[in-house]
A and B are shown apart, each in its own frame.
Chain A
Amino acid sequence: MSERSGRGPHPIPLPHPQGASPPGSRCFAATTARQAGEGEGEAVSPAGDAKKIRIATCSLAGCFGCHMSLLDIDERLFGLLELVEFDRTPLTDIKHCGPCDIGIVEGGVCNAENVHVLKEFRKNCKVLVAIGACAITGGIPALRNNLDLWDCFQEVYCYEGGLECGQIPDDPELPLPFDKVHPIYEVVKVDYFLPGCPPPADAIWKFLTDLLNGREPKLDYEMLHFD
């Protein structure tokens, strides 16, 4: 791990985006993902584990919609997995983030645990990416920022219909909620932002391929959305 941590993103080949050609003649129709990864495009690098870019992802005060959109890159995931390996993500179920090249954070900061996770990501990730409206503006959870937190809890846990002996959870293991939800850049330094609710899969793909190929990420007009 340590010998890898000194290396930044480098040019690596990726298959073409989905939709460039009809099913049947696409990248993986006749080749395996590994072959495709070595086939064409920019500078070829061996697909050995030692060269893989290590990525961690997490969702703080988010809905996992951005993660769903990441999965929505569909078959391009196979090509991506030839080039990257995952550290802590909801997919690997690894609980703590180790040294990584790229950290991708979905969701804003709404409680004390979010801050701990976010700081762990910042400490371990060379490049930290805020993905989605919540990580960038607070998003939908920030709609409660102008309401009293106690009023919110009472509304949800006590007054809402269909509850029996409603009570506000107070288990000491529950993280301390904040009175306001904040975007992650108000807590740690963020290197890149990828807006959207969620960002479209094509925007995530464009962003990741730019980053993995050592380019400054740039989205086309129709890929940049705040909604």
Chain B
Amino acid sequence: MKTSHIAFAGNPNAGKTTLFNNVTGSRQHVGNYPGITVERKEGSLLFQGTQLNIIDLPGCYSLTAYTQEELVARQVLVEERPDLVVNVVDATKLERHLYLTVQFLELGIPVMLALNMMDDVRNKGMQIDLERLSQRLGCPAIGTVARSGEGKQQLLEQITRSTATTTEGWQPLHISYGPDIDPVLEEMETLISTSSFLTDRYPARWVAIKYLEGDEEIQQRGAELPEIAAQLESIVDTLREHCNKTLNSFPEAIIADYRYGFIHSLLRQGIVIHPAQVDRMDITDSMDRVLTHKILGPTLMMSLLYLMFQVTFTLGDYPLQLMEMLFSWLGDSVTALLPEGHLQSLIVSGVIDGIGGVLSFVPLIMIMFIMIAFLEDSGYMARVAYMMDKVFRTFGLHGSSVMPFIISGGIAGGCAVPGVMAARTLRSPREKLATILTAPFMPCGAKIPVFLLLIGAFFSEHRALIMFGITLTAWIMALLVARLLRSTLIRGESTPFVMELPPYRWPTLQGISIHTWERTWEYIKKAGTVILAISILLWVAMTFPGLTPAQQQFFDQQRLPLQSALEQAPAAPRAAQLNQQLRDIDQQQSMTALQHSAAGQLGTMLEPVSRLAGFNWRTNIALIGGVAAKEVIVSTLGTAYSLGEADSEETRTLVQRIRNDKDWNRASALSAILFVLLYAPCFVTIVVMARESSWQWACFALFFNTGIAFLLAILVYQIGIRL
């Protein structure tokens, strides 16, 4: 059976992925290019006896070396040498989309055009002469409507025809770059071919053009033959000077001018016919009048984001609780089945709680991605970035940073896991990194119970005010730290905001569901494995070395008289009292065990330092546990504060216990609130951060955020106790 390798390529918003989804259906495989977060999507299908393996290249505007997407696209074309590139273009914007096509043709790789969005072309009253376009460009052209599947059959037929007739070797297109560039280009081309400079990978003329464009990747590769490289550089330098003096321009600018000139003259010859009377106001323009209006725009945006947030967390709450119930039932069943001991504890507290922790986020992530996919595919996300850019740029971020912040808890109660993942929509690497590192400062849903506990104990009369203050502090800190990072560790020019505002469209169901499922599955796979390991590690730290035999004996001896008293079947009130006393001993025992565990010893060890911020060893253990998941903080505080009060008739709540502990006061409560808000992201977030950036940056966040949080906590506490 014949196998063909096909690459789908094109500008972002050309409908490339929609076409890819339509052609390959669910037979897809999504991975990542090694070392970077650009997705590698592959799919396959059998058509008329030919196996078509299709790779969906990341969307790019050009084949330069400035963005990861462009580098990846180029690398796949040159190294994997697909049999055919299907260049998907938006037929209503041919002039700009052909800019990339021309670059494919210059590279010489076999290309066919898929002129997508032909329905829009018809609606606008435009006409495109596909046959003449195909003749002029020297490559086949098929009209398609990816959303409805129109033209899919012809596209596949043309793919099989094209791959069947492909001649050996690439045939690069030669464009004239005018009297200043052409002679120099020829000189360089001769030099390159005679010395076989990089010609095993690229056509000679293409290498020459890349040198003129100052392409960093090609220059790096060229450095292996330093002599030729130096000669080429000096030719380029001379030309650059010449262009600067006589034309007040650069070679790369002239090259771009001529490419557009080539496309312009190509299309002018009756290939695209615009309607005589252009109706200027299309639906997108009318919608933008309202949606990006000075006052209405931001108001609607805020309401929409708030609504979206509410829907995500209200709707996500049911499956979340269901998952939690399922896992707690599972935990109880296993507890009942297995004999008491370390194995039971490992499986219940380590494995089931760990997996449960990961999986309970899944519904939330799915709903969030459905929302995001909807906003992105509809074209509204670009408007959000457009409206917010001015504010966020001031802090070294990008208009698109608003989404990750809000999802992470910018409106209190979010979650940093989907928040960090939402930063994918940022195409600017530095702004994206700064967003990822600061988004976990937001008050996520798991931090809120801690705040409520401490507010309940010390500030119950100012609940709303303090909660509002916490959210405000989070935003201020996130923006200020982003600014700090962007002017120190992630320094660099802000990425240009040259962004397309695509027309509004209804997203397709298939697009949204594939998009959502891919990301969710990726989360389950990656986070699942690492989280499980970490969860077990934390269980070990909080369990071992356990009680000494002497301590164990001490508790057993205390229990003995109570148990024998119970066996004599006393009256109901007396039995209840005895049971209560037994429970108290159990609690005391687990408290002692916790204090004695590795985590407990660490907590005790850290006490001298943590006292500066007003935290005792019990708080320390809870905070250490909170690195695993912020939900753990309150439950661990519960265990650590379950000091037996055997004689006491009334059981006291954790709020009361904390309020009565001499170590706690308003200053230390405030300091703890601030610390919990800002310190290390939870482990799920850290894993996701590592996926979206790198392990170095994720570990950096772990220590850097904790450092900042601790310093501020000390400041607040020290000022607080002096007031």
State whether these chains interact: no
